Amino acid sequence: MTISDNLSRFYINGEWVAPLGGGRLGVENPATEEIVAEVALGTVEDADRAIAAARAAFAGFAATPAPERLALLRRILDAYRDRAEDFAQAFTTEMGAPLAFSREAQVWAGDAHIEATIEAAERFTWEEMRGTTLVMREAIGVAGLITPWNWPMNQIACKVAPAIAAGCTMVLKPSEIAPLSGILFAEIMAAAGVPAGVFNLVNGTGPEVGARLSSHPDIDFVSFTGSTRAGIEVARNAAPTVKRVAQELGGKSPNIILASADLEAAVAGGVEGCFGNSGQSCDAPTRMFVPRAVHSQALEIARAAAEAMVTGDPLADATTLGPVISRTQWDKIQALIEAGIAEGATLVTGGTGRPEGLNRGWFVKPTVFGDVTHDMTIAREEIFGPVLSILPYDSEEEAIIQANDSVYGLAAYVQGAPDHANAVARRLRAGQVQINYPDWDLHAPFGGYRQSGNGREYADWGIHDFTEVKALVGHGGA
């Protein structure tokens, strides 16, 4: 792909500007381990400059009529679609995602979230009368947006689009590990004619730029997606100014296969869901619970599904799994696979090291463990790679109790006869429960319980997070 000239600059107050200081970071293609570009890393001073621009633009943009903000979102969507192939190439370069997956999933996610927000904004209730009180929703203020590397446009779009719809101004800090697509997004915002200061982008690290966004007194709201560890730091930084914080954090999502399920379809679908995006999804169904009576059958189905995955060159048409993002992540996954073996789980397929025939790139063998018990490390910790743990259960009650016994609660999955699956789904403590692998619903609220975060994203749920509620008491009085 053609690397943007803007990687060495930040987008602030409607202009591409040189950093005030800071260093540079190489951008690695994880499939080749080659440095393909360098990105400028911002400092506190760069963040302050962007925050000041957003603050100066806020009053004017917040007063913009909702139909004008809606028209702006439509221009942003058109500009995004004009650069769709550039985004796909960026994802494959910076993440190692197979090119078909980049086009069909990663690019699509950004497009679909902007479109869903437009649909939600068209019918959003900004004001309503309750007796003699007018209840209003108005922009919360200046938003700090901190997004991850694993689904870059999914998370950027589902934060930026509702912020625009609500009338907020913002500073975006995308992941410095995968910054190419973030720079492209700033370019489409400029092309769409976003007013100066409404959208600003500063690349940088979490401890520097991220910490400044989450602590600065002129930031009214922080929307963060990332690890639970980093989310805790964001909350700590935000506490002294009592700013609102919405967080979408880690997960260890259970997938309960009921006795009433089609075992072949349920297990194979669970493998596909777990391994999608090379296992780098916070809501991936990584803990599969199966009735003990069919455990051995489930292992064979999972083995076949995993071994059918093609891991390798992201540019090859046949590839279904690319690498994980970095050496750091690869090392973590290897250690957790080793822990699974050491703690006595049955290694069904996969294991440590790179897949056969691959001697460079951060590729992980598609790995399935069976005979996993609830207390094992691989059943408790988020792995963030193509590793599935299958846990046999003796009773449905046992499966539900163990599924809920986690510090996380982002997503859960249930497979079985509809009435049966719905009854079990009601008992699972997670922000989103998917029943029988439905299509992705971009209007459903997305967010977690417990250490998976707080707040909800997507469509009107996201718009609500970017608003404050004001009551004009007596507005309708005589």
Q: Active-site residues: which are they?
A: 248, 282
How far apart are alpha carbons 303 and 296 in whole angstroms?
Answer: 11
Phi, psi of 296 (to 5 degrees): -65, -35
Which of the 8 DSSP states describes residue 37? E
Sole residue written with tokens 């005030």: 20
Total residues found in the chain within this entry: 478
How far apart are alpha carbons 423 and 414 in whole angstroms?
Answer: 10
How far apart are alpha carbons 37 and 176 in whole angstroms?
Answer: 12
Phi, psi of 89 (to 5 degrees): -65, -35
* Token code pair at residue 283: 């809501």
E-strand ranges in 292-431 read 346-349, 367-370, 387-393, 411-415
Phi, psi of 134 (to 5 degrees): -95, 120
Q: Terminus-to-terminus CA distance in the chain, angstroms?
A: 65
Instruction: With beta carbons less than 8 A apart as the criterion, state whether 424 and 310 touch.
Output: no
Sole residue written with tokens 């046999």: 392
How far apart are alpha carbons 247 and 123 in whole angstroms?
Answer: 26
Residues with Cβ within 8 Å of 122's Cβ and at least 6 positions away in sequence, in order, are 70
**How many beta carbons lie within 10 A of that of residue 437, not counting itself?**
16
Residue by residue, DSSP assigns 414-438 as EESSHHHHHHHHTT--SSEEEESSP
- Return the CA Rg of the chain: 23
**In 3D, which of 395, 12, 45, 25 has the Cα closest to residue 194?**
12
Residue by residue, DSSP assigns 210-242 as IHHHHH-TT--EEEEES-HHHHHHHHHHHGGGT
